[in-house]
Amino acid sequence: MNKPHTLTRREFGRCTLAGAVATAFPTIIPSSALGLAGTTAPSNRVVVGCIGVGDRGGYLLETMLQQKNAQVVAVCDVKKDRREKALAMVNDYYGNRDCADYLEHEHITGREDIDACVIASCDHWHALHSLAATKAGKGVYCEKPLSVSLEQNRALCAEVRRKKTVFQFGTQQRSDAKFLQACELVRNRRIGDLKAINVWSPASSSGGSLEQVPVPGNLDYERWLGPAPFTPYTKDRDSNAWWWFIEDYALGFIAGWGIHPLDIALWGAGALMHTSVIVEGTGVFPKEGLCNTATSWKITLRYSGGLEIDYRSEPAPKEWVERYGLTDSHGTAFEGTDGWVAVNRNTISASDTGLLNDTLKEGEIHLYKSTHHIKNFVESVRDKKDPVSPIEEAVNGDALCHISDIAIRLKRPLQYDTVSECFINDEEANARLTRPIREPWGV
């Protein structure tokens, strides 16, 4: 087991990344030795490092291990038990002891033999971890949502395109045939002109203890906080039951879950959602406890071209449930002049069931087809091509979550320009598109 020295923030600020990595790696295995970089070798695998290996990250790690054209060589997490569990999982799967485990993500992004990183850290770390990997020329699979500020999103997008790297957003519904079918029906006007989209998702939780307690020995709290404001540790602050719903680390489920059905709305609507939009709505925020993100919301987005989106937290309105037959906590329903089509992870339904047996013709719009999100990412890194959920779509989808959250916090209509990526004539709203980042971190 590789146990590198733990860098303090002050040490990190003084030293260079190259120096830190050199300390951890006296010998670097070039990717060409693994059959990459255009060479021929018995093994032509994409070499992967995983940053954040908790609940979701552990699932992604396990899925990555199943990819025959990929090899996981390193895992990273700020919690010791998670690192050790992930390390054992990888070594047991391959039947060796070749995987390394790290506390600091720099030891993964700095390794020259690693071609791609899977990012499943806390939301406030997503963009910075992705930026570090991208600047090192690595492909990135990043869990949703993309970040806690649009400024970070824009910086990441620019760097991905500057470095010409591969970026896959963790909106895995794009690799599900039901969602592809629904969006292709809409794009090819099988329901006529698209007029409205109804979207719903689970909401944030409230509660959480404010009791200050000692930091658990298993956790590097300073590294967990990272770019977020310093706050004394409180009971279970770092637990998945709570941090998702604390504004310092996330936007709550208005983004953490809502990005999924909103992303499908974006995929199905296409250019109709690339115009200026007026967003307004109401939300309920906890008044007590640790959590402070919206526990319910009702938001309307009106685009200049006439399209209107109604975005709700669960439960979906009774009339939606009766109309679409989707009883789960999430869904995307497209309403057109000639009918409707609705979809979630369990089913797809339509005003005319015959639509679901329709076959696209040659010359019609065929959207990017992926049958497996992780496999699509690995193949995209190998072939140096964009995946099904590229960086621009990640930024556009994440923006919907951010402007929705800002509108309900400011309690007034806001006009957002999707081209300039800012609110029109509203300094207060635009100030919320950025977020202070604690030193020494930055974009």
Cα 268 to chain centroid distance, Å, stands at 19
> Omega before 30 cis (within 30°)?
no
Instruction: Express each pLDDT in 282-341 by its tens digit.
Output: 999 999 999 999 999 999 999 999 999 999 999 999 999 999 999 889 999 999 999 999
Question: What integer pLDDT is reported at residue 28 of this predicted model?
Answer: 38
Determine the pLDDT at residue 336. 98
Where on the phi/psi map is residue 354: left (φ > 0), alpha (ψ -120 to 50), or beta?
Answer: alpha
Q: Give the separation between CA 38 and CA 21, rounded to whole angstroms.
A: 25
Termini Cα distance of the chain: 31
In terms of Cβ atoms closer than 10 Å to its own Cβ (0-12, 13-18, 19+), residue 109 is buried
Extract the tokens encoding 117: 């990183």
Per-block mean pLDDT, blocks of 10 residues, the chain (443 long): 36 34 37 40 81 97 97 98 98 97 98 98 98 98 97 97 98 98 98 98 96 97 98 95 96 98 98 97 97 98 97 96 93 98 97 95 96 98 97 98 98 97 97 96 89
Distance CA 298, CA 317 (A): 11
All domains in the chain, ordered by first residue: 9-173 (3.40.50.720), 176-359+391-431 (3.30.360.10)
CA dist., res. 199 & res. 269, Å (int): 13
